[in-house]
Structure 1
């Protein structure tokens, strides 16, 4: 079968090659991939690929063509969305049944493929944030796939959310999704905020921290700027009283992905969650999409269709 493999060179991109078709483990279903999503974080991973044999691909949607040998999971012919740990940018992928959710007929594969990594991150991040009704929330790096989901979910939960995005056009869409306010720099956000959801790192995190309310919570879930964070103890000491800074990873959960994927599917099918498809292209254009993601030329999710 055909699949994208890492070039493992200075270009840090991928090439379409022939690889063996996967042989599912007892708890894995074989899925014919119809669409997959490419996340900006995966462009970072391609710069330092894991061990030989690794191929990229965490977000897929398609059709089960071989059920799991142990009898778990959906039967042959079922449309699914999946979140394998890797190997998804291919014609076929073997996916643990605990990482699959069934798709209703009304939800296209192109939309479903945009749900897993970004949607799981947003859903689990808001759980960590706790009760949001009536609380003021600051979201940095709001124009990507995670940011759009966070904006819509937080707004639906009753939060008064201020989103930070450099683009006026993207800001308008965030207002439509539920943001109460959009600013173009963290320095322009007027606190105090009960919760800060910080994804850019660099100079933005200290600025966001200064805008926390007493005993506020900052959840640090990314470093899109690629710049390290420097914190001055004395700035914190004179800032918000008893602030909490907590690192967040969407994968650091005890529950399998399937249940949360099913929640994201249900919300989308009900029209309560709207995947933002910044671009939809043929999968042969994956290297170009990677370049556009690195250059921040895509708003929302990038989805590739497998023909």
Structure 2
């Protein structure tokens, strides 16, 4: 079968200077508790582009990208768990999803209703699960002021809509007003293009940019408030002078967040995201939809921050 591979593999190029190629691989052989699905659409995440660049040490021998997929089950799990053959599903495999077929643990799968197509579903897993778990880490947000940096990406759109629907007053930070315009429609009360423009104090800061963004967000916290650090999209390390705590908010806290740390299964969160979309309470922001032969082009656009929201590739 065909699959998208890192450039170290020998196959045909996908896009000029792309870090991926299209080639032939063996059919997936499911382990216990795994089903096989025919992939109809997948999402490209910025973290996967960093992995392809070698900037994140998350690979293993034979690694291929692909964590967000939607499609149809063609081989049910042998142990009887999970959806049966013919079921339409959204899934979050650990890798290998940029392919015609992929094996996925049934604990990482949720069924789809007819009202949700594969393109919409493929935008849900990593960004949606991250948003759900990030808000749980932040605690109750009803009536609280929330500062969200890096808000124009897929996670930011979900966090904004989910937090606003819970009664939070979200100040969203986006590199440009154009990239962040949709956030106001999703419920943000304010959109700024720099943390320096944000008027605190904030009860919660959700920080994903790194560099100078984190200390700037920290300085705008209310006494006893919480900053949750969940990414470093700028790829610039944070330099933090802890003596600033003496000048800043009393009893402020910093917590590191990793969406994989709270649970190693994703079925329940995927099912929750599917219910919210089906009920019209969550609206995935899909910035571009392309044929999977354009994967390299999409990766380049994500690196240049030309895509607002999720980037989806369709297979076949």
- 1:24 is matched with which residue? 30
Can you give the 5+ residue segments of structure 1 that lack an aligned partner in the other structure?
none
- 1:160 is matched with which residue? 169
- 1:239 is matched with which residue? 248
Query: Is structure 2 residue 72 aligned with structure 1 residue 66?
Result: no
Superposition deviation, residue 170 in structure 1: 2.7
Query: Is structure 2 residue 49 aligned with structure 1 residue 43?
Result: yes
Secondary structure class of the residue paired with 1:252: coil
> Hey, what's the Cα distance between the residues in 2 that align with 1:51 and 1:196?
34
Note if contact 2:18-2:300 (Cα within 8 Å) is conserved in structure 1: no
- 2:198 is matched with which residue? 189
Structure 2 residue corresponding to 1:80, chosen from 65, 75, 89: 89
Q: Deviations over 1:36-89 (max 9, x none)?
A: 000011100111272221100000000000000111000000000000000000
> Hey, what's the Cα distance between the residues in 1 that align with 2:209 and 2:264?
27
- 1:6 is matched with which residue? 6
> Hey, what's the Cα distance between the residues in 1 that align with 2:72 and 2:244?
53
- CA RMSD of the aligned region, Å? 1.1
**Number of equivalent positions:** 306
> Hey, what's the Cα distance between the residues in 2 that align with 1:160 and 1:138?
9
> Hey, what's the Cα distance between the residues in 2 that align with 1:104 and 1:257?
18
Secondary structure class of the residue paired with 1:216: strand
Note if contact 2:219-2:249 (Cα within 8 Å) is conserved in structure 1: yes
> Hey, what's the Cα distance between the residues in 2 that align with 1:202 and 1:162?
19
Question: TM-score, structure 2 length as denominator?
Answer: 0.95
Note if contact 1:6-1:12 (Cα within 8 Å) is conserved in structure 2: no
Superposition deviation, residue 301 in structure 1: 0.1
Structure 1 residue corresponding to 2:128, chosen from 116, 119, 128: 119
Superposition deviation, residue 8 in structure 1: 3.6
Superposition deviation, residue 287 in structure 1: 0.6
Matched ranges for 1:133-144 at <5 A: 133-144=142-153
Superposition deviation, residue 237 in structure 1: 1.5
Superposition deviation, residue 102 in structure 1: 0.2
Query: Is structure 2 residue 239 aligned with structure 1 residue 230?
Result: yes
Question: TM-score, structure 1 length as denominator?
Answer: 0.98
Can you give the 5+ residue segments of structure 2 that lack an aligned partner in the other structure?
10-16
Structure 2 residue corresponding to 1:266, chosen from 240, 254, 275: 275
Superposition deviation, residue 255 in structure 1: 5.6
Q: Deviations over 1:93-120 (max 9, x none)?
A: 0000000000000000000000000000
> Hey, what's the Cα distance between the residues in 2 that align with 1:222 and 1:79?
32
